[in-house]
């Protein structure tokens, strides 16, 4: 599933996934985008009173700011924030996934991008001015602060929600010549206005993962490796603020957040201490016992005050600093003092990205099981459509979740299923609204992008099918996407290379086609389906982080014909050492695919497929049948479908 | 021919090329690198007296510096400096192409890279300490200035030889905390020491190019386009300091520099003036007449003083600055005043890189003729080797030059011919020394990289051949290189893409092979064989400059087995608009090859070549035979060879 930073949709079906309940309903707008609506069902929230209260607070002597910034982010810069962290939605009434509100003493501005212009214009009341970012002459919210507010403005922020390295740094630089300044407020005034209506912060019990069968490394060993990094960087401690990093480091998982099996926590690791800042009630005694004296648990709320004290007791300074990841909030930097901290690409992210052999074996196993659920679903869907049963996209997704939920070690979906027919398949971030979505049509392309969370790994797979007769253009597009997929799957490249993205596009380019997303993102191990720091794409971030043995990454080229159809073929692959006949340089890498689900041969235009590509396809199908077939003993329909779909071409 | 920035070798054979005479002989060292030796023939120059005189000058009250930097560069940052500009070679005795000398009041240091360790150690006398850049713990000359010289050192430089944007800027930054500073000396003390022995600066007559048949655009039109750029940038003038840019802008060529048909000049273009700073004696009256009042010629030496005056009269300032290319010297920036100048990627380079239809047609035509000379040479060489004639690499190169010199519009070589047998072919920057080079062996790979300057274009072509029976490994390597070459030749990619380099390497990577140079460089039109700003490669500079319609670029993947053999297949291609069935995005580009010379099918391992690649090869050979064949009417041997080499596989 593509695009970690721009999508977020609430989860609807949660029969087995022990997460917080959805608070929202979803409707599909005519534009094809997904709109999340408040539980009240009303389209517009009257924000007059909220804004009035907020402005009172801004004017108070302890604040004395003339503007306040309310971004979408939570304190951990999570992809899916908890509802108690949806401050921007509360204050503005607009609850799309991306946007930033700026409230001045007189006006209120909501900045969002093209995906949300319609939704925002419907949800905002007359107190708000919609700022359509991306249109000519519309500033970003960052530009707005420096260019459109009066000179010398004190601008209030909640420093826990602003990243120090990216936003705070550049904002300070652009505000300085204007004589304006960012002012970190002690308490977020939106929280005060929200008051008792604010949903409680989630605090579900966490659970440990088995070292031998699931994660392959004790948390003590991980701490030791992190301590080696701390020593290498000549630092006194490492501060871990991202939820998946904390979960990985301590071999714990939780259910505080949708789709990501994480829990609210921070951690500080020093050469001798490991402090976990989290709600004590979330940790069972058995976990505490097994952690023993290696880990000290302190209250979540004590994190910032503890940082101040730790900075002093550890004697952090410029020469011996605290290590912070580059996504750390300004509040953390301010607590430690800029001069005592160094912001670097997170060492925990780098360690987590490289999977050990236990995790890799888990990836293989969970993908085989996951492939069985997908096979059962596609076989079922074909039968339904052939029998003339009317099914909508959401019902399809629900059935797929049902099949997944019967699998061993299943712990929920890894993201909202993209079940999309015809034109909806061209909407990259589509997810169907159960109350208002399209009927799956036999004579249209059907694109299904979905994934599961399992105790032994995380899956993310897209298959595109046609249950009737595809057009020549659809077949050509599918084949070009497939050629790109095969080109990545079979690539061999020297260690340190970052330029394999174009392999996925070459065949499409021959037709004058392309896709406006990257080719691959990192995948967590029973963790976030999107993880860094690596990927396959043209973005600078990806190209500055080369692929390394043991990394997991998606291989998902696509093509989207707006208003007509969309195609994507996605499998998860693991970076492995390549056994090449020669070894010029420092070694070569290749990919091992773990996703096991047939690629529909009916959609192939064989006039452009090479002999080698045909061979690859046949061999992939032999492997898939061999691995997934044995799991389908109790579903003859699925087994028959799998055998047919895996027959050689 | 690869690697604009790291090679330079003197030209030996100049029967027709009207350039300055070579002053040096060349010997091949056992390491396989090329060493240029002083005319005296002695290996070591006694520098004691030169250094003593230089130090006297450094101590003079008008200088008062404790160190002096002597880089390799000339005032125009030319790839091939004139002999009068080889100051570093004069002062140190080391005359390899790359290196920097730093002379302090007590010591003398020569910094160079791995290619020249041996040569430098042989040429430097005991006054010098060789600094082997690239070895652990050896600083670069830039680092040396800030880290190894005493704090508070005044460091003398010749500001005409230091680039403002790259070196001066970063040096100043690194010296500041040390309290050291760069001091621009009024006159280069090396020139004073060199005195009467210094060769005269070249000042050969320049000649104009025909607009209709050669360059396709009047210089007035070029000036007008440059003025539009000046206006767009809200500037008062553009200062042009690179020799090929001046030559291109005024449709003039010269013979002041080896291989590059340029002349010593600077230019300043304002909205109403165009001033050419060059030796008046180099410009015939007929040129002056045809230029009329559009161009004012001023003495070369008056450039810097004129800049100061122009800055004042034009009223240049921060808001309305002078435009300088990013390779401009510190002297120019100092003359104008940093606050009145802006350093940007040269607008002239960007204009020059995009060839018009006349230039493109010239490229096509000169490459066909050039292909005839290559064909005649390879046919002749094969016959010689089959007859048992003993020929060395240099004799081969001389014969090739002879054939080229018989062609219409030929004006010399575009670089020193790389004629290399067996292990020498693995030395990317090899050029044979006529007095000491290898015999071309029938049972070894033979790599020939060469090019010509023609009034209608510049060529640069590499073909690799075997006149006996190649080994399986050689065939496999040749085929993998060929597949990369074909992959670039047939690539279609969206406008704005920079990531096609990996297409050239994919086939090699499958074997665990690669090459340590880029895949393509820009090629001038009867100008420098290496030109920017574009290219195909992994370097950041290339990737920040996307390919545009009309650009010329080389396609030259290779593979080098150290000590055994080397393979490169290079053709020049032109970036053209691709006619794709669809057009997702902003248009697609492709390449048109203009080099016409057979690719030896004997060296192909057909077990790895795809059907499509075979088809490409056959079609390329049909085209080559069709275009080159008619030029070989008077050389039946060559025609027969061409027909055989172009037969379908």
Quote the mean pLDDT of chain A.
91
Query: Distance, in angstroms, between B355 CA and closest chain A CA?
Result: 24
Two structure tokens written together for B258: 């080896």
User: Mind listing the pLDDT tens digit for each residue in A558-579?
Assistant: 999 999 999 999 999 999 999 9
Residues of A in Cβ contact (< 8 Å) with B567: none
Nearest to B514 among A494, A538, A610 (CB): A494
C-alpha A553/C-alpha A107 separation (Å) is 45
Tokens 């924030």: give the residue: A81
Helices H, strands E: what count in chain B?
Answer: 19, 30
Q: For B425-444, b where at least 16 C-beta lie within 10 A, e where not — what string?
A: bbbbbbbbbeeebbebebeb
| pLDDT value at B131 more than 80 | yes
Q: Do A491 and B506 touch (CB under 8 A)?
A: yes
What is the number of other CB atoms lying within 10 angstroms of the CB of residue B633? Answer: 9
Three-class SS string for B386-422? HCCCCCEHHHHHHHHHHHHHCCCCEEEECCCCEEEEH
Residue of B nearest to A514 (CA): B584
pLDDT level of residue A543 (50, 70, 90 thresholds) = low
Contact A298, A306 (CB under 8 A): yes
User: Mind listing the pLDDT tens digit for each residue in B195-219?
Assistant: 999 999 999 999 999 999 899 999 9
Query: Distance, in angstroms, between A559 CA and closest chain B CA?
Result: 10
* Model pLDDT, residue A544: 72
Query: Distance, in angstroms, between B206 CA and closest chain A CA?
Result: 45
Nearest to A499 among B491, B499, B583 (CB): B499
C-alpha B401/C-alpha B598 separation (Å) is 19
| pLDDT value at A588 more than 80 | yes
Residues of B in Cβ contact (< 8 Å) with A493: 502, 509
* Model pLDDT, residue A335: 97
Residue of B nearest to A490 (CA): B510
* Model pLDDT, residue A542: 65
Residues of A in Cβ contact (< 8 Å) with B513: 582, 584
Residues of B in Cβ contact (< 8 Å) with A610: 610-612
Mean pLDDT to the nearest integer, A148-160: 95
Contact B411, B384 (CB under 8 A): no
What is the number of other CB atoms lying within 10 angstroms of the CB of residue B42? Answer: 11
Mean pLDDT to the nearest integer, A447-463: 98
* Model pLDDT, residue B2: 63
Residues of A in Cβ contact (< 8 Å) with B506: 491, 503
Alpha-helical runs (H) found in B117-273: 117-123, 141-147, 169-175, 189-194, 219-232, 243-249
| pLDDT value at B310 more than 80 | yes
* Model pLDDT, residue B10: 33
Q: What is the pTM for the complete model shown? A: 0.90
C-alpha A22/C-alpha A24 separation (Å) is 6
| Main-chain phi, psi angles of B130, to 5 degrees | -80, 125
Which residues, in sequence order, are CB contacts of B478 under 8 Å at separation 6+?
Answer: B464, B470, B567, B569, B600, B603, B604, B605
Closest CA to B124 of B34, B48, B27: B48
* Model pLDDT, residue B541: 62
Mean pLDDT to the nearest integer, A289-302: 96
Nearest to B585 among A494, A514, A580 (CB): A514
C-alpha A603/C-alpha A468 separation (Å) is 10
Contact B515, B507 (CB under 8 A): no
| Main-chain phi, psi angles of A448, to 5 degrees | -125, 115
Q: What is the DSSP letter of B212?
A: I
C-alpha A134/C-alpha B517 separation (Å) is 39
Query: Distance, in angstroms, between B538 CA and closest chain A CA?
Result: 8
Q: Do A500 and B502 touch (CB under 8 A)?
A: yes
Residues of A in Cβ contact (< 8 Å) with B491: 506, 509
| pLDDT value at B477 more than 50 | yes
pLDDT level of residue A13 (50, 70, 90 thresholds) = very low
Query: Distance, in angstroms, between B194 CA and closest chain A CA?
Result: 45
Contact B263, B207 (CB under 8 A): no
Residues of B in Cβ contact (< 8 Å) with A547: none
Residue of B nearest to A538 (CA): B499
* Model pLDDT, residue A540: 65
C-alpha B647/C-alpha B618 separation (Å) is 8
User: Cα angle at B556 between B554 and B562, to 5 degrees?
Assistant: 145
Residues of A in Cβ contact (< 8 Å) with B503: 502, 506
Closest CA to A381 of A470, A467, A478, A471: A467
Q: Do B502 and A510 touch (CB under 8 A)?
A: no
C-alpha A515/C-alpha A428 separation (Å) is 10
| pLDDT value at B399 more than 60 | yes
User: Mind listing the pLDDT tens digit for each residue in A163-172?
Assistant: 998 889 899 9
User: Mind listing the pLDDT tens digit for each residue in B26-41?
Assistant: 222 222 233 333 333 3
pLDDT level of residue A441 (50, 70, 90 thresholds) = very high
User: Mind listing the pLDDT tens digit for each residue in A105-151?
Assistant: 999 999 998 888 888 998 999 999 999 998 889 999 999 999 999 99
* Model pLDDT, residue B436: 86
Cα Rg, chain B, nearest whole Å? 25
Cα A357 to its chain centre, rounded Å, is 24
C-alpha B477/C-alpha A582 separation (Å) is 11
Mean pLDDT to the nearest integer, B36-63: 80
C-alpha A58/C-alpha A103 separation (Å) is 10
Q: Do B513 and A582 touch (CB under 8 A)?
A: yes
Residues of B in Cβ contact (< 8 Å) with A484: none
What is the number of other CB atoms lying within 10 angstroms of the CB of residue B382? Answer: 18
User: Cα angle at A13 between A639 and A92, to 5 degrees?
Assistant: 145
Residues of A in Cβ contact (< 8 Å) with B539: none
Quote the mean pLDDT of chain B.
91
- For chain B, the residues whose C-beta falls within 8 A of a C-beta of chain A are 491-494, 497, 499-503, 506, 509-514, 538, 559, 578, 580-585, 588, 610-612
Residue of A nearest to B612 (CA): A610
Residue of A nearest to B500 (CA): A502
Which residues, in sequence order, are CB contacts of B353 under 8 Å at separation 6+?
Answer: B522, B531, B532, B533, B534, B548, B551, B552
Closest CA to B247 of B531, B637, B502, B505: B531
Q: Do B509 and A585 touch (CB under 8 A)?
A: no
Q: How many CB pairs under 8 A join A and B?
A: 77
Tell me how long chain A is: 649
* Model pLDDT, residue B18: 30
């Amino acid at each position: 599933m593509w695009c970690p930073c721009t999508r977020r949709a609430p989860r609807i079906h949660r029969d087995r996934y022990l997460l917080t309940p959805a608070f929202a309903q979803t409707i599909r707008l005519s534009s094809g985008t997904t709109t999340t609506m408040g539980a009240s069902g009303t389209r517009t929230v009257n924000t007059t009173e909220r804004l009035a209260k907020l402005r009172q607070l801004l004017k108070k002597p302890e604040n004395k700011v003339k503007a306040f910034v309310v971004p979408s982010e939570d304190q951990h810069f999570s992809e899916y924030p908890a509802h108690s962290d949806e401050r921007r939605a509360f204050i503005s009434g607009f609850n799309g996934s991306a946007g930033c509100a700026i409230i001045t003493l007189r006006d209120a501005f909501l900045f969002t991008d093209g995906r949300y212009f319609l939704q925002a214009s419907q949800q905002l009341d007359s107190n708000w001015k919609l700022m359509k970012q991306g249109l000519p002459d519309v500033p970003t919210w960052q530009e707005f602060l420096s260019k459109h507010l009066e000179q010398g403005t004190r601008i209030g922020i909640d420093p826990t929600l602003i990243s120090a390295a990216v936003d705070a740094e550049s904002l300070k630089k652009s505000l300085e010549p204007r004589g304006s300044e960012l002012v970190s407020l002690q308490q977020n005034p939106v929280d005060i206005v929200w008051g008792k209506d604010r949903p409680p912060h989630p605090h579900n019990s966490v659970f440990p993962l088995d070292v031998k069968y699931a994660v392959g490394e004790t948390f003590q060993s991980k701490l030791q490796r992190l301590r080696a990094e701390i020593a290498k960087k000549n630092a006194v401690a490492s501060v871990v603020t991202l939820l998946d990093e904390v979960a990985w480091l301590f071999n714990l998982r939780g259910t505080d957040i949708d789709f990501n099996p994480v829990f609210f926590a921070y951690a500080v690791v020093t050469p001798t201490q490991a402090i976990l800042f989290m709600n004590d009630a979330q940790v069972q005694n058995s976990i505490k016992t097994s952690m023993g004296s290696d880990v000290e648990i302190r209250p979540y709320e004590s994190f910032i005050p503890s940082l101040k004290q730790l900075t002093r007791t550890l004697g952090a300074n410029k020469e011996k600093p605290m290590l912070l990841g580059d996504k750390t909030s300004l509040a953390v930097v301010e607590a430690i003092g800029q001069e005592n901290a160094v912001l670097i690409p997170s060492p925990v992210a780098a360690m987590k990205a490289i999977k050990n052999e236990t995790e890799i074996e888990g990836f293989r196993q969970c993908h085989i099981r996951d492939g069985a659920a997908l096979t059962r679903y596609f076989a079922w869907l074909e039968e339904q459509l052939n029998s003339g049963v009317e099914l909508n996209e959401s019902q399809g997704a629900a059935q797929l979740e049902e099949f997944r939920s019967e699998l061993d070690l299943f712990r929920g979906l890894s993201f909202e299923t993209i079940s999309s027919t015809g034109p909806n398949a061209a909407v990259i971030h589509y997810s169907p609204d159960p109350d208002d979505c399209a009927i799956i049509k036999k004579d249209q392309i059907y694109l299904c992008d979905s994934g599961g969370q399992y105790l032994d790994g995380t899956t993310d797979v897209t298959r595109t099918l046609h249950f009737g007769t595809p057009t020549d253009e659809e077949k050509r597009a599918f084949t070009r996407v497939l050629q790109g997929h095969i080109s990545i799957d079979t690539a061999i490249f020297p260690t340190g290379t970052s330029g394999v993205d174009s392999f996925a596009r070459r065949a499409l380019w021959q037709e004058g086609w392309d896709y406006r997303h990257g080719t691959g993102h990192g995948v967590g191990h029973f963790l976030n389906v999107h993880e860094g720091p690596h990927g396959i794409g043209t973005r600078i971030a990806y190209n500055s982080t080369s692929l390394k043995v043991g990394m997991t990454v998606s291989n998902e080229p696509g093509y989207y014909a707006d208003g007509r159809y969309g195609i994507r073929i996605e499998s998860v692959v693991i970076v492995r050492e390549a056994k090449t006949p020669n070894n010029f340089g420092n070694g070569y890498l290749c990919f091992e695919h773990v996703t096991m689900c047939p690629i529909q041969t009916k959609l192939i235009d064989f006039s452009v497929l090479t002999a080698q590509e045909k061979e690859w396809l046949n061999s992939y199908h032999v492997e898939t049948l061999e691995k997934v077939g044995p799991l389908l003993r109790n579903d003859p329909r699925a087994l028959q479908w799998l055998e047919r779909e895996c027959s050689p071409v």
